[in-house]
Amino acid sequence: MLNGSTFIRRELMIRIVRAFDDGTLESELDQIPIKLRPKNSVASRCCVYHDRAILKYRLMAMLGVSVEDETDESKSLAAYYAEKAWGGGAEHPSRPRAPLSVCGPACSGCPDAKVVSTPNCRGCFARPCVYNCPKKAISIVGGQSVIDQSLCIKCGKCITACPYHAIVKTSVPCEDACPVGAIRKNGHGVAEIDFAKCIFCGKCFAACPFAAVMERSQLVDVLAAMKRGEKLVAMIAPAAEKQFPGKIEQLLSACAKAGFGDVMEVALGAEKTTEHETAEFIERMEKDPKTFMTTSCCPAWVNLVGRHLPDLVGHVSLTPSPMVYARELAKAKDPDAKTVFIGPCVAKRSEARRKDVDYVLSFEELGAILAGRKIDVIACEPWPVERPANPTARNYARSCGVTDAVLAEATSKIPGFKLDAKQINGIDRKTCAMVKLYAAGKMPVNFLEVMACPGGCQNGPCSLS
């Protein structure tokens, strides 16, 4: 969805691509914040100087540098650019290759969540708020309801009870969005990610209205690799459908035109995931009909299990994800090629690092490359694919897609096969608590599909639409 946050991110990315192609990125980088916020222009925050400082940090993250790693505030973007030399800079030991970074100066330090009464209160006679509050925290003072914060437990009963919608809960969007309590304000009142807890689902990134959470991009790494003449294979995630105008085959052509040495659909890898995951499931059920298995293609889910649900570790399918199989296919075709996963996902960045996928780009970053190089997807001829991927494989980007694929595969092998499946369509605090119950031995089904994003990857944090 387009808003001010996505707009500035995309504008900066396109500027980076254009300056890179002009060969002027190093000299232009430090000029961009000034160009975008010249003196006497309208500031988004208190003043243009604050805006510029934030823009600098945004560009830093877009160069792939973690804002948290900054030790010298006077260091220029040109220096970061030169230092990185696109072989990968040194990583902070406590944040090895974390794909997210918080831009402190952009964080508004939202006040802690509380339930408050607004002037919409009419001081009515029935006073359902007073009667429904289990803690007797609400009183009427001067004809208006007042909530005693020392008593309030934020249960929200008064919010539902009030016929005037006069009581609201204020929120800290990043904290509300995080399913695992990994983002909190530090001693300076600025959001900070606990990278030992973070599952890189990207929900804080998508939720922050100040765009303070940023991805550490590999955009310039990819541009530099192209320039060095490396053969890069663009592996387009199934979620690409409807992200850009035109068909997937046209998007593949657009990628080839943009400088990728080869292009392919990750859905071809998903076909192999389906085949192996089905076989694995059947084998597990034969060994122990009372056991259950859960899917392994959503990297945020795999991270969630690994970091927070130790009891479930043995139940996660050992079958590699579509991205991993797609990488195998690309490497089998050309062992020297480097692979670039292109999708809507933050967590894929962490999976890619574990599974030797060389780079990850978001659809936004791919869009910036196409925009920077003036390539319109709808104007491209369809790419001559050997064969299009199976529709069930392309369907992996939707919630229920994996379940449907496994069920179709299993019934084709074993007629009348029954799958007792459940889908978790989006990870949040509620579903997290539910999964914890499952992990404690209350699993109601034998096949659990989990997608961190509601609706599936197509609604990922870095999706365009």
What Cα–Cα distance (Å) separates residue 333 from each residue in 233, 322, 326, 354, 358?
10, 17, 11, 21, 16
Residue 75: how many other CB atoms lie within 10 Å: 14
Residues within window 18-77 making contact with another protein, judged by CB under 8 A: 18, 36
Q: How far is the CB of 368 from another protein (least distance, A)?
A: 7
Q: Which of 156, 245, 310, 444 binds another protein (CB under 8 A)?
A: 245
Q: Which stretch binds another protein (CB under 8 A): 10-18, 85-93, 94-102, 336-344?
A: 10-18
Q: Which of 237, 254, 222, 285 is nearest to 389 (CA)?
A: 237
182 binds another protein (CB under 8 A): no
Q: How far is the CB of 124 from another protein (least distance, A)?
A: 37
Identify which of residues 351 and 365 has a Cβ nearer to another protein in the complex.
Answer: 365
Burial category of 449 from C-beta neighbours within 10 Å (exposed 0-12, middle 13-18, buried 19 and up) = buried
Q: What are phi and psi of 97, to 5 degrees?
A: 55, 35
Identify which of residues 364 and 449 has a Cβ nearer to another protein in the complex.
Answer: 364
232 binds another protein (CB under 8 A): no
Alpha-carbon span 21 to 401, nearest angstrom: 39
Token pair recorded at residue 73: 């505030």
Q: Which of 57, 210, 244, 301 binds another protein (CB under 8 A)?
A: 244
Alpha-carbon span 443 to 422, nearest angstrom: 10
Give residue for tokens 């409807």. 242
378 binds another protein (CB under 8 A): yes
Q: Which stretch binds another protein (CB under 8 A): 3-11, 327-335, 339-347, 403-411?
A: 3-11
Side chain identity, residue 120: N
Residues within window 68-97 making contact with another protein, judged by CB under 8 A: none
Alpha-carbon span 110 to 209, nearest angstrom: 10
10 binds another protein (CB under 8 A): yes
377 binds another protein (CB under 8 A): yes
14 binds another protein (CB under 8 A): yes
376 binds another protein (CB under 8 A): yes
Interface contacts to another protein, rule CB under 8 A: 2, 7, 10-11, 14-15, 18, 36, 244-245, 364, 367-368, 370-372, 374-379, 464-465
